[in-house]
Structure 1
């Protein structure tokens, strides 16, 4: 499997002064996803402290917040990654220029409506689902053209995310009495599943090429298959019977299998490479979410919301930042082995956000609200610093003068 990071796509040289933000999918989507992560959490923090309600009455404020992070922020990162990776995997040019600009505009319009005028949710739904369906078509066309059927597993998750998004909007627009609960669990666990699939493909290779010591890492296919089966079973159980014993068994199964896989991937050299230890720590934090989720059914004092935020901040937040930081360097012709110094602060802040949101309430439940605000502050600082650091990298042409 060719990596979407290490291989520079072929193409003609570009003029040095060309504005490059819409040359390839990762550029606008990574930058806007990071900016949105700052704005959305800042707005949510204000609503949280003010105890203010939404003008939208069909979903709760917490459901609105979760939707915007899972189907707004995370979906944008997925779009940027896939539009870039599929070009490398298939050798076929994906959306760029004005078509990419139009796709970004659909996503951005949906986010603006949901943040500024959520009562106009029907407009947001139209733009958002247009973005989802257009992305599916843009990713599927080159995959089908070159018959890379193994990529259909990744594509199927994007299709399921679109179905989940439609289910949320069905309730939000009043077309259905429920749907948001299922949509948010689908959004969360499908994002986790995508991270597991992609990390299984690329992290061992990243480690082998990124550490100074000579190491050869292998994957066990039985672990990969069992993890996916257990994840599917967990999601189905949550959405149907929600049997507590099944949740415990499946949560612990995923946690233990993933722990074993991460242990097999470990080599001391990763701790000297920020673009490796950040990814590795994010996977462990995501894995911790499954332990906490299982234990929440055994210990009444442990809330499921801690597991959810361990997945969302520690898993999705940390790993998306690590991936965006690496892809943005590799696909702009820069050296991934010498990232900007600020990445240490970026990764440290986002991990501190996860610890404040998950660990601090376990140790000191009496300062729960303070822990939430500390987590939000660290999250905002991490993504704001990413925007400042990576804006010139993402908006300027490749350093080698090639297209992309």
Structure 2
């Protein structure tokens, strides 16, 4: 009866619809632009919902124990409005990606998400990579929204791919790895602490996202190859470092 989790079903349902629409769109038109943007929009809304719940919570717990002082602001109407504005902006971008109204909405959403992130005291978590990575991964959300907006108003200067890769490789990739790592440690009885190997995979996934954005501005096979290598290092590293925890009995 944890009814507040029902809202999570909405972006998941949209993601499922986008997956189905991908095949239909590709079959009928030979492209999948709308369905791919819809899938990305669903993923970013999901990150906004779940990230807005776990990032302030984990940050507050760590700060209260390790670094007393300013704590993340409690969730309020501003957080709800930020998610709603982002969902509307992403929806507009999905169906009318070149419209100036979509660009304005994305700009407003980027500002709201950046301000939302600043309220979570991420700058005070530098000593704990497990908490810091959540803030750095979420930072790709307002960055991606801002790039999408800029690409609409200044297409000659900002390629559309920059925003897409900031949201995809950056936000989705880094947040997925960050949450996978923390969940693996916590649910297998391991200490919630990032060793050198875990810190390496965090650096690798952040580097992958950054390089993939850079490749949109500087078309270069070498930059794309480096981004791909960093991406593979991050997820292969996760498998090597944490795979055993997922396939062996829970630690006591």
CA distance 1:234–1:394, change in 2 (3 Å): same
CA distance in 2, matches of 1:343, 1:287: 25
> Post-superposition shift, 1:238?
2.7
CA root-mean-square deviation: 1.9
Matched, 1:301 2:163: no
Counterpart of 1:252 (choices 85, 93, 107) is 107
- 8 Å Cα contact 2:205-2:234 kept in structure 1: yes
Q: Which has the higher helix share?
A: 2
Counterpart of 2:166 (choices 297, 310, 313) is 310
Alignment-derived partner of residue 330 in structure 1: 186
Larger relative contact order (Cα-Cα within 8 Å, sequence gap ≥ 6): 1
Matched, 1:208 2:63: no
Counterpart of 1:196 (choices 32, 39, 48) is 48
Alignment-derived partner of residue 372 in structure 1: 224
CA distance 1:202–1:239, change in 2 (3 Å): closer
> Post-superposition shift, 1:248?
1.8
Q: Encode CA deviations 1:94-147: one digit per residue, 9 max, x unaligned.
A: xxxxxxxxxxxxxxxxxxxxxxxxxxxxxxxxxxxxxxxxxxxxxxxxxxxx3x
Alignment-derived partner of residue 4 in structure 2: 150
CA distance in 2, matches of 1:377, 1:267: 28
CA distance in 2, matches of 1:261, 1:396: 39
> Post-superposition shift, 1:288?
0.7
Q: Which runs of 4+ in 1 moved over 6 A?
A: none
Q: Where in structure 2 are the equivalents of 1:64-213 lying within 5 Å?
A: 146=1, 148-172=2-26, 174=27, 176-177=28-29, 180-211=32-63, 212-213=66-67
CA distance 1:317–1:162, change in 2 (3 Å): same
> Post-superposition shift, 1:353?
1.0
CA distance in 2, matches of 1:319, 1:232: 18
Counterpart of 1:386 (choices 215, 223, 238) is 238
CA distance 1:352–1:169, change in 2 (3 Å): same
Alignment-derived partner of residue 3 in structure 1: none
- 8 Å Cα contact 2:188-2:245 kept in structure 1: yes
Larger of the two Rg values belongs to structure: 1
- 8 Å Cα contact 1:167-1:179 kept in structure 2: no
Alignment-derived partner of residue 68 in structure 1: none
CA distance in 1, matches of 2:98, 2:74: 32
3-state secondary structure, aligned to 2:126 = helix
> Post-superposition shift, 1:179?
7.5
3-state secondary structure, aligned to 1:334 = coil
* Corresponding residue pairs, total: 248
- 8 Å Cα contact 2:215-2:224 kept in structure 1: no
- 8 Å Cα contact 1:259-1:284 kept in structure 2: yes
CA distance in 2, matches of 1:288, 1:177: 31
CA distance in 2, matches of 1:265, 1:379: 27
- 8 Å Cα contact 2:43-2:172 kept in structure 1: yes
Unaligned runs of 5+ in 2: none
CA distance in 1, matches of 2:244, 2:114: 37
CA distance in 2, matches of 1:255, 1:219: 20
Most deviating of 377-386 and 162-171: 162-171
Alignment-derived partner of residue 42 in structure 1: none
Unaligned runs of 5+ in 1: 1-145
